Amino acid sequence: MTKLTRNLHIAEKIVFVDGFSGTGKSILGPVLGSLKDVEKQRIEHIFEYLCILDKLGKIERDAAISLMRIYADLGLFNSMISREVNMRLWDDSGLLNNPDSLKYVARLLLKDGDAVLKRTKDQCPILQIMSHQIFPGLELAFSAYDNRLRVIEMVRHPLFLIDHWFSYIERYGKDSREFSLWIDFGGKTLPWFSCGWEEEFVEMKTMDKVVHSIRWLQERTDEVYHGLKEPQTHQIMFVPFEKFVTDPWPLIEQLETFVGSKRTRATGTALRKQKCPREHLMAGRGHKHYGWSKADSKKDDFEWVKEKRRFVENNASTETVKIFDELCEDYERTYKVTITGAIEQK
C-alpha cells in the first residue's frame, strides 16, 4: 500500500489556541497575535477534523499526518502573502479585530513564490491556529509536528460554559450552519463527542447533555495529557480564563517564554480591546448568539455564580447536578480558582 509523506516544512513554529467552546479563546487570540512574530489567528477547521477523524480511527495515520503538515505550511504561506485575509468587520479572525493590520495589507504588495520562503526564513513567523476541543485527538498533532508544536489550552470554570453550551448543543445534526463532525446512531445525527455513549445522549434533556458532554471532553483531555511523555507536557500551557481576564500580565510573561516571543507595544492595546484586566468576570465581550449577554454592572461575580448554578439546578436531573458540582470542584482545585462560594448559600 502506498504511504503518504511530507518530510519538508515551511512552518517552524505552530501554536494551537485550543479549548472547549465558550472558554474565551477569542480573547486570547488577538493578544497572542500581538507578540513579536506571532501571526494573526487563523480559524481553519481542517485541523480539528483531522485530529478527530484520527481519534475515531476513520483515517489512515500517514494520510492524516501528511494533511496536517500540508495545511500548516499552506496556512503560513498564505498568511505571508495575505491570501485569504479576512476583511469581515465583526469576525474574531477579521483583520480589524487583530493587531498590526497594516502588516497584512502591506503583504499584498510583496512578491510571492520563492521570495515568500526567504521572508519566512528571515522573519521566523509563528503560525497561530484557533481550534475547538481538539485535545482528545492531540496525539496526531504531536505526530505531525513533534517539537515544532505548542498548545495553549484555554480553560474556564464550568459555571461560565453553561450558557454557551445550552444555547448550542441542540444544533448538532440539525443546523446546516453547524460545521463540526457528526456521527450516525440508528438514523439519529449526534455530535462526535457522544461516541461511546450515544444511547444515553439521545435520551437526555438539553442540560443533561451539556453537563455530560463537558465531563466526557474533560475526561478525554485528562487522559491524553497524563498519557503524554514529559517533553510533550512542556509543550502544553493551560490558561485559566478567570486569571487571564482579571490579571493578565503574569500569564503574558509565561506565554512569552512558552512560545519564544516578546510582547510589543500592541500587546497592551490588544488587552484593552478585550477589556482586560476587568473587575468582573462577566464584564467583557462575547457572542450574543451563543448565549452571552452584557453583564449588569450592579451584579458582582457572587450574584452571577448563584444565578448560573440555579440555571443548572432548574434544568438538570439530580444526578447531573451532582456531576456538575464535581466538575466545578475539580476545576477550582486544579487551577486554584475560587468563585463558587455562593453555591453553598443558594
Do 214 and 124 lie in a common domain? no
CATH code, domain carrying 103? 3.40.50
Q: Is the CB of residue 9 less than 8 Å from the CB of residue 144?
A: no
Same domain, 96 and 179: no
Q: How many residues does the chain have?
A: 346
Residue with cell 505571508: 80
**Would you say residue 112 lies in a domain?**
yes
184 and 129 in one domain? Answer: no
Does residue 143 share a domain with residue 115? yes
In the prediction, which pLDDT does 346 show? Answer: 41
pLDDT per residue, tens digit, the chain (346 aa), is 899 999 999 999 999 999 999 999 999 999 999 999 999 999 999 999 999 999 999 999 999 999 999 999 999 999 999 998 888 878 888 888 888 888 999 999 999 999 999 999 999 999 999 999 999 999 999 999 999 999 999 999 999 999 999 999 999 999 999 999 999 999 999 999 999 999 999 999 999 999 999 999 999 999 999 999 989 999 999 999 999 999 999 999 999 999 999 999 999 999 999 999 998 887 765 555 545 455 555 566 778 888 999 999 999 999 999 999 999 999 999 999 987 654 444 4
Residues 253 and 108 in one domain: yes
Query: What ranges make up the beta strands (E) of the chain?
Result: 13-19, 42-43, 126-130, 149-155, 182-185, 188-191, 236-240
Q: Are 192 and 169 in contact (CB under 8 A)?
A: no
Task: Identify the pLDDT of residue 345.
Answer: 43
Distance of alpha carbon 1 from alpha carbon 297, whole angstroms = 63
**Residue 150 belongs to a domain:** yes
Asked whether the beta carbons of 236 and 153 are under 8 A apart, the reply is: yes
Rounded CA-CA distance 71/54 in Å is 16
Are 318 and 214 contained in the same domain?
yes
Q: Report the side by side order of strands in the sheet with 149-155.
A: 42-43, 126-130, 13-19, 149-155, 236-240
Q: What is the DSSP string of 267-323?
A: HHHHHHHTT-S-SSTTSS---GGGT--PPPTT--HHHHHHHHHHHHHHHS-HHHHHH
Shared-domain flag, residues 146 and 247 = yes
* Count of the separate structural domains present in the chain: 2
CA 205 – CA 224 distance, rounded (Å): 29
Q: Is residue 236 part of a domain?
A: yes
pLDDT of residue 305: 86
How many whole angstroms separate alpha carbon 90 and alpha carbon 85? 14
* pLDDT value, residue 281: 81
User: Is residue 322 in a domain?
Assistant: yes
Same domain membership, residue 201 and residue 115 = no
Q: Is residue 285 part of a domain?
A: no
Q: Is the dihedral of CA 176, 177, 179, 185 positive or negative?
A: negative
- Do 102 and 208 belong to one domain? no
- Give the per-residue pLDDT at 296: 55
With 0.75 as the threshold, say if the pTM is over it.
yes
Q: Is residue 314 part of a domain?
A: yes
User: Do 148 and 237 lie in a common domain?
Assistant: yes
Residue 289 domain flag: no
Confidence (pLDDT) at 293: 56
Q: Do 96 and 11 share a structural domain?
A: yes
Q: Is residue 286 part of a domain?
A: no
Q: State the Rg of the chain over Cα.
A: 20
Domain of residue 106, residue span? 1-156+228-279
Best CA proximity match to 126, nearest among 283, 269, 15 = 15
Question: Is there a single domain that holds both residue 220 and residue 322?
Answer: yes
